[in-house]
Structure 1
């Protein structure tokens, strides 16, 4: 069976959808996030999806949108998956509040650019 490459838009949509889920999961604020293992697990899962999808984006595309530290996004996924015992909840929260809004904006721009800027 031949494995077909996914359209880049699929990965961008995956990233955008993961961010939307994280926004929904964290509406109650930091205090609840830090106390609720289920919310932490859900957010960490979505961050890992972001990192995996980012790793599938063509290098040339990632280089075009330098406002994102793609290497960090991919590295965070690897840390959360492979070094799970070292997960720092504060770092996850900081990522949610500081990095994801910027990533969401850039992914939206990328999708818009692919659609001809419409």
Structure 2
């Protein structure tokens, strides 16, 4: 792992954790009806995708160890550049299905970085 990688991993993990926290205590119907929650989640997913995009640029080997890294970056691109096409139901699925799998992977990579 390269020297700059842990900072990007930390940013990604923090953004993923913050976004996932929205799912706790909220139902999908509440999320789908609340533009403030949606905006908060979208911002954290943008940060997540940007951090992983930067990681992929400086350390493609570490980035390749993150499941669906290309899809995460693509989601960021949609949120930033194609905001009118954002499907909030899919975003809810990311919160409830994808992030709980991603966060432990990021934690593991950060633990590995700490041991170097």
Partner of 2:9: 12
Q: Which runs of 5+ in 1 are unaligned?
A: 1-5
Q: How many Å separate the matches in 2 of 1:71 and 1:23?
A: 19
Structure with bigger gyration radius = 1
What is the CA distance between 1:17 and its match in structure 2? 1.1
Provide the C-alpha distance between the structure 1 equivalents of 2:8 and 2:20, rounded to a whole number of angstroms.
18
Aligned residue in 2 for 1:75: 74
SS in 1 for 2:8: helix
In the aligned structure 2, how far is the partner of 1:12 from the partner of 1:108?
8
CA–CA separation in structure 1 for the residues paired with 2:105 and 2:69: 12
Matched residue SS, 2:115? coil
TM-score relative to the length of structure 2: 0.87
Separation in structure 2 between the aligned mates of residue 21 and residue 50 of structure 1, nearest angstrom: 10
Task: Give the counterpart of 1:46 among 28, 44, 57.
Answer: 44
Q: Distance in 2 between matches of 1:48 and 1:61?
A: 20
Structure 2: how far apart are the matches of 1:23 and 1:60? 26
More helix by share: 2
Number of the residue aligned with 1:60: 61
TM-score, normalised via structure 1 length: 0.86
Tell me the C-alpha RMSD between the 2 structures: 1.6
Unaligned runs of 5+ in 2: none
Give the equivalent residue in structure 2 for 1:21: 18
